[in-house]
Structure 1
Amino acid sequence: EQYLESVKASIRAVAGPTFNPASPKQIAELLFDKLKLPVITRTKSGPSTDAAVLETLRHQHELPDLLLQHRMLSKLIGTYLEKLPGYINPATGRIHTNFKQTGTETGRLSSDSPNLQNIPKKTDLGREIRAGFIAGPGKLFLAADYSQIELRVLAHLCDDPTLAHAFHGGADIHRFVAAQVNHCDEASVTPVQRNAAKAINFGIIYGQTAFGLSQQLGIGRAEAQTFIDGYFARFSSVKAYIAGVIAEATARGYAQTMAGRRRYIPQLASGNRNERLQGERIALNSTIQGSAADLIKRAMLRCDSMLPDGARLVLQIHDELLVEAQEDVAPKAVLALRDAMIGAWKLDVALVANARIGRTWLEVS
């Protein structure tokens, strides 16, 4: 709360003492009318001030970054610090979430009352929330998460020998891709090139466009298109695979995961071009992310039979599993957890799961 007040003071030093940093209307007036920053996207009510817009504008002025900090801190306090204690079951002393098998369209599990799959992980302050989750007396937390699971699924499905070789060799996949696209050795890759490769590696699953990449990296659209063209020129099998997924889904009316689970996509038959493009993105995302979701569900089933007595699965966070185990069985259980995950599916590229042991959820994050 002290940090939040400090951020508010910094905002008002720029915006004035009456400025409300929680008001989208006041934010839009300040950013676009007073500071003359460019409008990135529009909604029915006017220029958008959502997180993606502020992320883009943070390169041009200090205020968007301060507003992002304000939103993050307000969410940490309002969503987690104030509300989570109210979910503690007085009989067990624990928080019990609800998991929904059909809560997402790609097949991922979702969680509510409360949502324990969105406890922050990416920011240092957000990660501290996880320190409040402590293993029971005489017990430890064990956690393992898949390394770049969706990229490995993509490499398996598209049968790209260059990508497969990189994963088999344990390369930094983003640096490796940057070197391939820019025709240089990995030691010569610049931070900008690696960031672009990382954005493309992850964005390709969601139908990344030159405009989206330019906004994400703060570069020109032409430069972003050059990165994308270079990627597809070097990894032509990925481009062919994407085209094949879209063509097959369009012909059948649905996309299908490795496990055979289908998602019907009516947008693919739309007469509206934008809706068809949306359907194409859905088809690709459903195939890759959906297959990764099937894979970790298999890992969960394997945990049921492979974890030793005194250890049990307590939480799934998309590509991560959290186990609570008695201290004396924790060393054996963490190996079983890792083996359950890496053996869940035989891919052309090896699955990698990094396992950790700790007293709190933060320590194993």
Structure 2
Amino acid sequence: MTEILTTNMPKYLSPHDSHQVYNGLDAGITLEVWQRLREELDREEATPEHRAWQAGARINYSFERAMQGPALAMMRRGILVDNYYRWEVVASLERRISHLQNVLNEFACAVWGKPLNPNSHHQLKQFFYEAMKLPEQHSYVKGRKNVSINRDALEKLSIYFHAEPICNCIIRLRDLSKKVSVLRTEVDGDSRMRTSYNVAGPETGRWSSSSNVFGGGTNLQNITEELRRIFIADRGKKFAYIDLAQAESRVLGLLCFILFNLSHYLDACESGDLHTSTCRLIWPGLGWTGEAKVDKELADQDFYFHHTYRYMSKRGGHGTNYYGKPFTIARQMKVPQKLIEDFQQGYFAAFPDISRYHKWCAQQLQLHGQISTPLLTSRMFFGRSNDDATLREAIAHVPQHMVGVLLNLALWRIRAYLRRQCEILAQVHDAVLIQYDEEREEKVLQAVIPLMATPLYHNGREMIIPSDIAVGWNWSKYYDEAMAANDARRGRKPKPLNLDGLRGRVLGVPDIRSRREDPSAKGLERMMI
């Protein structure tokens, strides 16, 4: 392959011409890579294993090329932004940031007599490691050990009682500042935010997203629930947010069934309520009745402070599935480590297939350095095979990869078969956001749901990941007065009402709401509605 040293580019090239040269190099190198890969795809004297790889590579290459159509359609269309609400939220967040900064400065002045900048790594290192004399925390970047003050380091420092409120304050300030940064992201002149989807870049096979080619927009796949409120349907349109229910858990259960012929976890996933079923297995003495509604209420009882049995099953189970250690899970859930140790002991007893899957992944890394999936794809892992971080990546890869492929297949079908009935707006790893004419809601949803389903078979057993539907006029969850009152009774701070938000929808049962906020109304008009 030809090597070109781009640091010695001619000085007389204008920025535009230099940019064109880089584009040409990108295209040329991509072509050379393809020519080399094509030799591997066309090699006839290959082994049976290589022929299987060839078949999988051809299928996946064709599939990823086909997904460029849906990706470009969403990138060009974008999502309408409610600018009035957007700046209202920015103002609210900035007030909270100002208050928290004052609190942080009071803490800092008590420690070293001057304010503290939560975004200055140099200042934070001096504050925690020199002024407060706390042990240094380290991170590894490209194999190099560095003194760190990132989020993980702050969470570790928060175990010291005198540092905990300061660490929590800094973490919260950073989170709020990140939200403000997202809200201040440039919106195009037509009040739409557009993103760029990377169809083939991530190692897991899932898409990633980032700012668009003109520098505006942002990553729409990790927008928080609070910020999704600014995204609204076009006038006369309505959103449907359709996600694959407990997708990664179901795929993990199927994988264990394929590998070990054990169906404990898959049976729990398909019981109708995974988390309640898990509670029944781990805490058998709670007086379970076998009735779904009654058992769910039992699972919603408080277990540890405000954490319910169901919450423990959901958060603890997810972390355990992906090889989370008791110390890490306990720190994230803010519970004692012994609690998670006891939980994992019961969890692995209830689902022995999960621990066997962990051992299988470790064995594959040690023997082959790669993990293969039932979808004829393989991923090589270049980290140390005996490193827990590499093992966690391998354990998470197959469920995440398969869910990404199944979701993208559904997205392709929706665009191919329902192009005139609805518009695809966003892909969020295990969910899609579409919009359609309000009066055609039932017809569109009846057509979409079958397209979301992809049956998977093994040993005569069929597994289909079901879909949950929520409809509304903005991308955030529905929240009414009754929900606010319930939160207040339980000691939680009520959130702003969102009567136009996404609300669960069952086919055949119409949504009787009507739109409250007019997306075409200006700020003053909105205040008068």
TM-score under structure 1 length normalisation: 0.82
Give the C-alpha shift of residue 317 in structure 1: 0.8
Cα distance in 2 for residues equivalent to 1:242 and 1:223: 22
Q: Which residue of 2 aligns with 1:74?
A: 177
Verify: 1:176 aligned to 2:277, yes or no.
yes
Q: Which residue of 2 aligns with 1:124?
A: none
Q: Is contact 1:164–1:349 with CA below 8 Å preserved after alignment?
A: no
What secondary structure is seen at the aligned counterpart in 2 of 1:315?
Answer: strand
What secondary structure is seen at the aligned counterpart in 2 of 1:318?
Answer: coil
Higher relative contact order (CA 8 A, sep 6+): 1
Q: Which residue of 2 aligns with 1:239?
A: 355
Give the C-alpha shift of residue 308 in structure 1: 6.3
Q: Is contact 2:138–2:146 with CA below 8 Å preserved after alignment?
A: no
User: Aligned letter for 2:465?
Assistant: L
User: Aligned letter for 2:183?
Assistant: L
Match of 2:167 among 47, 61, 64: 64
User: Aligned letter for 1:177?
Assistant: T
What secondary structure is seen at the aligned counterpart in 2 of 1:103?
Answer: coil
- CA separation of 1:10/1:175 partners in 2, compared to 1, >3 Å: closer, same or farther? farther
Q: Is contact 2:129–2:135 with CA below 8 Å preserved after alignment?
A: yes
Verify: 1:346 aligned to 2:462, yes or no.
no
Verify: 1:117 aligned to 2:221, yes or no.
yes
Cα distance in 2 for residues equivalent to 1:284 and 1:259: 16
Cα distance in 1 for residues equivalent to 2:135 and 2:467: 43
Verify: 1:9 aligned to 2:102, yes or no.
yes
Give the C-alpha shift of residue 132 in structure 1: 2.1
Cα distance in 2 for residues equivalent to 1:37 and 1:214: 21
Match of 1:360 among 470, 474, 478: 474
Give the C-alpha shift of residue 105 in structure 1: 0.6
Cα distance in 2 for residues equivalent to 1:286 and 1:361: 28
Q: Is contact 1:152–1:351 with CA below 8 Å preserved after alignment?
A: yes
Cα distance in 2 for residues equivalent to 1:144 and 1:179: 29
Q: Which residue of 2 aligns with 1:206?
A: 322
- CA separation of 1:232/1:12 partners in 2, compared to 1, >3 Å: closer, same or farther? same
Give the C-alpha shift of residue 161 in structure 1: 3.2
> Matches of residues 1-150 of structure 1 in structure 2 within 5 Å?
1-16=94-109, 18-31=115-128, 44-46=145-147, 48-55=148-155, 60=161, 61-78=164-181, 80-85=182-187, 88=188, 90=189, 93-113=191-211, 114-121=218-225, 127=226, 129-150=227-248
- CA separation of 1:155/1:72 partners in 2, compared to 1, >3 Å: closer, same or farther? same
* 1:247-296 alpha-carbon deviations (Å, 9 max, x no partner): 2454343212231121112446x6xx43xx44332322211211111111
What secondary structure is seen at the aligned counterpart in 2 of 1:141?
Answer: strand
Give the C-alpha shift of residue 297 in structure 1: 1.2
Q: Is contact 2:244–2:467 with CA below 8 Å preserved after alignment?
A: yes
Give the C-alpha shift of residue 135 in structure 1: 1.6
> Matches of residues 180-259 of structure 1 in structure 2 within 5 Å?
180-185=281-286, 187=298, 190-191=303-304, 194-219=310-335, 221=337, 224-259=340-375
Q: Which residue of 1 aligns with 2:269?
A: 167
- CA separation of 1:266/1:40 partners in 2, compared to 1, >3 Å: closer, same or farther? closer
Give the C-alpha shift of residue 100 in structure 1: 1.0
What secondary structure is seen at the aligned counterpart in 1 of 2:243?
Answer: strand
Cα distance in 1 for residues equivalent to 2:253 and 2:394: 17
Percent identical among aligned pairs is 25
Larger radius of gyration: 2
Give the C-alpha shift of residue 62 in structure 1: 2.3
Give the C-alpha shift of residue 98 in structure 1: 1.5
Question: Mean Cα displacement is larger for which, 133-142 or 200-209?
Answer: 200-209
- CA separation of 1:25/1:245 partners in 2, compared to 1, >3 Å: closer, same or farther? same
- CA separation of 1:39/1:350 partners in 2, compared to 1, >3 Å: closer, same or farther? farther
Cα distance in 1 for residues equivalent to 2:469 and 2:335: 37
- CA separation of 1:63/1:213 partners in 2, compared to 1, >3 Å: closer, same or farther? same
Number of matched pairs = 346
Give the C-alpha shift of residue 77 in structure 1: 1.3
What secondary structure is seen at the aligned counterpart in 2 of 1:255?
Answer: strand
Verify: 1:290 aligned to 2:405, yes or no.
no
Cα distance in 1 for residues equivalent to 2:200 and 2:221: 15
Question: Mean Cα displacement is larger for which, 179-188 or 323-332?
Answer: 179-188
- CA separation of 1:38/1:235 partners in 2, compared to 1, >3 Å: closer, same or farther? farther
TM-score under structure 2 length normalisation: 0.59
Unmatched tracts of structure 1, length 5 or more: 122-126
Give the C-alpha shift of residue 218 in structure 1: 4.2
* 1:329-353 alpha-carbon deviations (Å, 9 max, x no partner): 2232233333322x12336554232
Cα distance in 2 for residues equivalent to 1:233 and 1:145: 30
- CA separation of 1:267/1:49 partners in 2, compared to 1, >3 Å: closer, same or farther? closer
What secondary structure is seen at the aligned counterpart in 1 of 2:101?
Answer: helix
What secondary structure is seen at the aligned counterpart in 2 of 1:329?
Answer: helix
